[in-house]
């Protein structure tokens, strides 16, 4: 009888406004496809800027304040991310008016989408909305629009955002991963045991997947 391979469980802790989160995921996805690894992905919330005001902040100003980056350093970082993103088929379009956002409501919307089996799809749509199309993710109407564009109910999405009904669930999930020692994202946990942080690159992910496959044999 043919042995059915057990799916590799992959937990990804990330924030939608984290550029290396989308790069790391795309690199991992490429490695998963190339290796033919049977897998299931579970996304989890993390806030890069939990104290960010609701209206958000200009991205360049935010980077200068948080990291002390000069304009030249910021431009070099953007160029690097754009090039690495292009390698895995993701388009970054950084603009001067681009903003950093408070993502607590956004994570609640993702929690709601997960109840319909659509968290992964919404996550990808939000990555593109932010980094490719520079949409204002601080605006609940924009978030509801993005949800509707992948086939979710816009009116219900607005209601979820307005009444903050999943606030407690998101706070609990964030606390769980902080308690596990996750201090930065992306953080990828394989089979609930092996934690890998940062965007590792396709080749490194391939090596990790090969090692995990050997362990499961």
Percentage of the chain surpassing pLDDT 90? 90
Percentage of the chain surpassing pLDDT 70? 97
Residues linked to residue 99 through DSSP beta bridges, in sequence order: 58
Give the mean model confidence (pLDDT) for residues 85-106. Answer: 96
Matching residue, tokens 């996805």: 29
Give the mean model confidence (pLDDT) for residues 181-195. Answer: 95
Among 167, 162, 156, smallest CA distance to 118 is for 156
Give the contacts of 146 (CB within 8 A, at least 6 positions apart). Answer: 122, 125, 126, 129, 135
Q: Do 28 and 208 contact (CB within 8 A), yes or no?
A: no
Mean pLDDT of the chain: 95
- Assign 1 a pLDDT band (cuts: 50, 70, 90): very low
pLDDT confidence of residue 216: 73
At 53-85, the pLDDT tens digits run 988 999 999 999 989 989 899 999 999 999 999
At 120-138, the pLDDT tens digits run 999 999 999 999 999 999 9
pLDDT confidence of residue 217: 62
For residue 2, is pLDDT > 90? Answer: no
pLDDT confidence of residue 48: 95
Give the contacts of 5 (CB within 8 A, at least 6 positions apart). Answer: 38, 216
- CATH architecture of the region 8-49+102-212: 3-Layer(aba) Sandwich (3.40)
At 131-180, the pLDDT tens digits run 999 999 999 999 999 999 999 999 999 999 999 999 999 999 999 999 99
């Amino acid at each position: 009888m043919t042995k059915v391979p057990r799916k590799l469980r992959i937990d990804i802790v990330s924030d939608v406004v984290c550029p290396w989160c989308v790069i790391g995921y795309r690199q991992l996805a490429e490695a998963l496809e190339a290796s033919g690894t049977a897998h299931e992905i579970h996304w989890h919330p993390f806030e890069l800027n939990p104290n960010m005001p609701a209206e958000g902040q200009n991205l360049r100003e935010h980077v200068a304040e948080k990291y002390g980056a000069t304009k030249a350093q910021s431009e070099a970082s953007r160029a690097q991310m754009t090039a690495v993103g292009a390698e895995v088929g993701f388009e970054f379009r950084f603009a001067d008016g681009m903003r950093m956002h408070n993502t607590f409501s956004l994570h609640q919307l993702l929690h709601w989408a997960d109840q319909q089996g659509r968290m992964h799809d919404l996550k990808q749509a939000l990555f593109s909305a932010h980094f490719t199309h520079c949409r204002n993710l601080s605006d609940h109407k924009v978030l509801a629009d993005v949800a509707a564009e992948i086939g979710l109910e816009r009116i219900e999405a607005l209601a979820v955002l307005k009444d903050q009904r999943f606030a407690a669930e998101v706070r609990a999930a964030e606390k769980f991963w902080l308690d596990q020692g996750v201090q930065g994202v992306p953080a990828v946990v394989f089979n609930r045991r092996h934690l890998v942080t940062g965007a590792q690159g396709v080749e490194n992910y391939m090596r990790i997947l090969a090692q995990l496959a050997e362990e499961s044999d």
